[in-house]
Structure 1
Amino acid sequence: MRQWTEEQYPIITTLARLVKVNAFAGTGKTTTLVGYAENHPEEKILYIAYNTEVAAEARRRFSRNVTASTSHGLAYGPLGSKYNHKRCNNIRLTDVAKAMNTSDWSMAKDVVGMLNSFMSSPDTEIAQHHLVRFRGISINSRQIQHAQLVMRHANVYWNRMCDLQDLEAPIPHDGYLKAWLLTNPDMSRRFQTILLDEAQDTTKLLTQFVRQQYLNGCKVIFVGDRHQQLYRFRGAENALDEPWLKDAEVHTLSKSFRFGWGASHVANTILALKGEKTLLQGFGQQTQIKSKLPDGLEHRTYLYRTVAGVIDRALMCLPAPQEPDNGERVYWVGGIKKYQIQTILDMYWFSLNQTSKIKNSQLTRDYKSFQEYAEIADQTEDPEMVRIIKILKNYGDSLPDLIKRLEQITVEQEMAATVTLSTGHGSKGLEWPYVQLGDDYTYDPLDEQAAKDDPDRRNDELNLYYVVSTRGMKMLALNTMVISMMKHAKDRRAGLN
């Protein structure tokens, strides 16, 4: 018989129709939800996971009365599968510019932004407020005209994406999800209860969908950690703060079994800067706090702020030229493709106009030349494009050989690796025995002026520091910025600042 904590038991046995669970890092929220499902075998339960990997793990762990799916998975059967022949991951800037017959890349970027904002909203029509850069500010007549023009182009492209016959306007996963949810599906016919995981990082669209199921008669349980909200920049919002949850039964999970007191102390120091009063308690194995991982570990994990930081660390794992194999093997969380290694190599050949060596032919269809690509990156300030150009400048002509050698030391299974690499965002939900935080986290939460100028940005960055600082189980090696936060807290306790 499993032993539940005094925090978990009331959640597992609850009979309330509307429940909110504030769960801190490593506090066993999934285990608690599994317990809830086992304790309510008569209920048909829908568990909505935030990605396919979590959904697959949930299918393995949950009892048979639970259906685990992502929101996109729910939409795929009834609608998404019909778009298999024209589906894409994201709306491409070049596709939109081509459809508009324009070389005004800033305008095309606004159209893409408006479409993405519309697709994540519960709105039934594209509107001016979906132009994010004009949201919340007073705009002049010229800007109003611009917004109206963007809106017209966005409407045309949305209709083209939804057209099964129009192959020139691919539809992203968020597109068919939006189109399906606009049909107002009623899940109460199949399920009595809905569990929404990672509620702190969901869209208004999905939150509205779950609310509608509640109004249709479903029991609803929201679970999340407000301090692990990482995707506000993509339009995600913290559903735990939704006004309609004000009457929900509220629970807290604050006892972590992932790590010990050391890691929880670091986490609480970070959360104190956000004004959090509840303390995260470390009930796991002892976690040593260091400034650097020691030599001789069989496996270690490095978490970086940027993709460029991850790639730099991977290159450090290579033996020096002409040196024998040093035995290092690298596992990339999410797979090496996620880090655009092949895209970077293709772009290198593109910059030299050696198009015959480019593997992704879409590149030469999208851009006339590397110069055009660089100009678009400059005009739109697209972070992905800017990052690739920076990497090309940093590594120059050594890039092809370095990438070839990187692929040789890359492994598909983490068990075969000596080094695991991830961005901080990619590490959410994961854990490792030995973790080192990279030094490319440059935002200083102690900068009072920066905090006043953009308090939301400060919270976002503190959330990321909290996430990466709660991944280590046996040992956590801090970076310069987290050490600075720890010293600041210590000095405050001593009355020195």
Structure 2
Amino acid sequence: TIPPAFPISAWVGLTHAAVTGQVAVAGPSTGHVSVAGTSTQPIRKPTAEQRVVVDLDIAWGTPQRIRLVAYAGTGKTFTLAKLASKHAGRRILYMAYNKDVARHAEIKVFNCARHVTCKTTHAIALEYMRKKRLIYDRKKFQDYDLTSKQVIGAVRKQCGSFDEDSMNQATVLKVVDAFLRSADLVVTATHVADHYKGTDAHKIAKHREYAQAVVDCMFDKGNADVPWTFNGFLKRYYMLGGHHELSADYEMVLIDEAQDLNPVTMAIARGLQIPVVTVGDPHQHIYSFNGAKDGLCADHADVELRLTRSFRFDPAVAWVANKVIALKGEWRLLSGARPVLAGDAACPPSRVYLVDVPAHTDDIHAFLGRATAEMPVGATPPCVLCRSNAGMLGAAYWAIHHFRGRTGNKVHVLGGTNKAKLTLDKFRDVYKVQAKTWPRRVYSNFRTVDDVKAWAEKRDLVDIVSHCNFVLTHGNNAGTMLDRIKEHLADADDPRVVLHAGTIHQSKGGEWDHVIVMPDVFAFLQHSSRPNSKAVW
């Protein structure tokens, strides 16, 4: 038991890394970077808690629901691998929330076991839609959101006209997206209320009507003017009942990070007639801004099990974590690994480094140079975590330039190479306004990037504002930076990778030996002024 007066200095002396190596933390008040690192013993045998999960009796052929609440660092992936290994004669589907996680699970967790299939929900839906010829040459799949022209065109086709004086196509698009993420079969006033804050009954009805018109055009196989989007074909897959085929193709489904499922994914899992194991931690629910709900605890479970012993940190950190989750009403406590003892070679004390960087510095190159200089010689590539995609691209470009003497000097962007290219294309769309080189239609009426930024700020389009800030910061050099990054992209397991980069949200579920958290993350926390926020720091 850690006493209430346990000194902060002792925490520093005992703290293990958030993963297994080093963590660089930039504080906004002092401008210092603290890099703490250690190594932990690999988990070789299941703990008593993990053994209960592995030895659980599975009711094969029934819609059994098993909930596994696994706190941070408690070895959930190891436990899932042991569970799958025990049932090597069964067809098992592991559903992940992004391609990188699915790929990591297939290779590193399940060791390419033939009886385990690792896919994202979208990949499953995409295969079904193509098999049913619902996505084909004319009715294509679009990587990015619908454009204003596509929205207005769909409304005019279905409703006869679009009232541009009183209606905002950006708000209509948000209502469409809210519906696509939901489990509802038609657009309702609830979807409108999420994004239209007015009380005008006529406008509420119009938003609902327009959004339904866009959805109808997207779901119309013969309408090539409104393509499928990521959320669109997943929703259609659910509405057509495609997920029922999973009950015939597999004998058990493992759903990771279930605390961040959106309602339509929850509905897909709910409809399966085979055992489903949902795994996650309700205290790590971070995608509510993206329509996600706590799918882990929302539905009934026939069996609920817990993993509470963390291998990422010692009792000092666990004591702090318990204080935080207790504020949320949690009474089931987290326990840490054994404390570090002086001279204990098996569990050495953390190493803490301080890097002097001016507070709120805009020079990320200087920051990264100082932070990486403190890393041991021969260290594995660090992962740089930023607040925004713009910061992530800046870090990636720095790595390409800084490590140009190394063979390949490739960078890996969290989320996968294809998603990274899509992100780069979105930044390039804004850059084309600056370069006057045929910007995408949605930006064709703007003369300057400042005009685009003002338009995006008025409509609360945060991502586009970020794109504009990147172009305005780097000017004509932005195009060169985007080209260089695209040329040097690589997958996570490419031996030529010198740096991993991504946002804090993209890092969920990832593990690296060395992590650098950029100053913009802490600047956001310090200057965020949301009166309704209950975040505890």
| In structure 2, distance between residues paired with 1:402 and 1:444 | 25
Aligned residue number for residue 479 of structure 1: none
Distance change in 2, residues 1:232/1:290 (3 Å): farther
User: Does the 8 Å contact 1:262/1:288 carry over to 2?
Assistant: no
Pick one of 72, 76, 79 that aligns with 1:25.
72
Per mean C-alpha deviation after superposition, the further-off stretch among 401-410 and 148-157 is 401-410
Deviation at 1:311, TM superposition (A): 2.9
Q: Is structure 2 residue 119 aligned with structure 1 residue 69?
A: yes
Question: Counterparts in 2 of 1:94-133, with a 5 A limit?
Answer: 94=148, 95-100=150-155, 102=162, 103=164, 107-133=168-194
Deviation at 1:115, TM superposition (A): 1.6
Deviation at 1:296, TM superposition (A): 5.0
Pick one of 206, 213, 223 that aligns with 2:279.
223
User: Does the 8 Å contact 2:266/2:295 carry over to 1?
Assistant: yes
Aligned residue number for residue 379 of structure 1: 458
Distance change in 2, residues 1:69/1:418 (3 Å): closer
Q: Percent of aligned pairs with the same residue?
A: 23
Question: Counterparts in 2 of 1:179-198, with a 5 A limit?
Answer: 179-184=236-241, 185-186=243-244, 187-198=246-257
Query: What amino acid sits opposite 1:378 in the alignment?
Result: E
Aligned residue number for residue 200 of structure 1: 259
Deviation at 1:168, TM superposition (A): 0.6
Aligned residue number for residue 216 of structure 2: 159
Question: Counterparts in 2 of 1:56-455, with a 5 A limit?
Answer: 56-60=103-107, 61=110, 63-81=113-131, 82=133, 83-85=135-137, 86-94=140-148, 95-100=150-155, 102=162, 103=164, 107-133=168-194, 140=199, 142=200, 144-184=201-241, 185-186=243-244, 187-213=246-272, 216=273, 218-245=274-301, 248-257=302-311, 271=325, 274=328, 276-277=330-331, 278-282=333-337, 286=348, 287-292=350-355, 293=371, 294-297=373-376, 298=379, 299-317=381-399, 330-333=411-414, 334-335=416-417, 337-338=420-421, 340-355=423-438, 363-364=440-441, 367-371=444-448, 373-374=452-453, 376-403=455-482, 414-442=494-522, 453-455=532-534
Pick one of 47, 60, 81 that aligns with 1:34.
81
Once the two structures are superposed, what CA deviation does each residue of 1:388-423 show, in whole Å capped at 9, x if it has no partner?
Answer: 111222222343444455567666565323332221
Distance change in 2, residues 1:104/1:282 (3 Å): farther
| In structure 2, distance between residues paired with 1:445 and 1:271 | 19
| In structure 1, distance between residues paired with 2:480 and 2:247 | 56
- Tell me how many residue pairs correspond in the alignment: 439
Deviation at 1:425, TM superposition (A): 1.2
Query: What amino acid sits opposite 2:178 in the alignment?
Result: S
Once the two structures are superposed, what CA deviation does each residue of 1:46-73 show, in whole Å capped at 9, x if it has no partner?
Answer: 3322223333444441644434332223
| In structure 2, distance between residues paired with 1:199 and 1:178 | 18
| In structure 2, distance between residues paired with 1:145 and 1:332 | 45
Once the two structures are superposed, what CA deviation does each residue of 1:185-211 show, in whole Å capped at 9, x if it has no partner?
Answer: 534344443322111010222222222
| In structure 2, distance between residues paired with 1:161 and 1:170 | 6
Distance change in 2, residues 1:401/1:198 (3 Å): closer
User: Does the 8 Å contact 2:218/2:226 carry over to 1?
Assistant: yes
Specify the SS of the correspondent of 1:20. Answer: strand
Deviation at 1:256, TM superposition (A): 3.6
**Higher share of residues assigned helix:** 1
Q: Mind listing any 5+ residue stretches in structure 1 that lack a counterpart?
A: 463-484, 486-497
Per mean C-alpha deviation after superposition, the further-off stretch among 56-65 and 377-386 is 56-65
Q: Mind listing any 5+ residue stretches in structure 2 that lack a counterpart?
A: 1-42, 59-63, 157-161, 339-345, 356-370
Specify the SS of the correspondent of 1:75. Answer: helix
Per mean C-alpha deviation after superposition, the further-off stretch among 363-372 and 420-429 is 363-372
Tell me which of the two structures has the higher relative contact order, counting C-alpha pairs closer than 8 angstroms and 6 or more residues apart. 2
- TM-score between both structures, scaled by the size of structure 2: 0.71
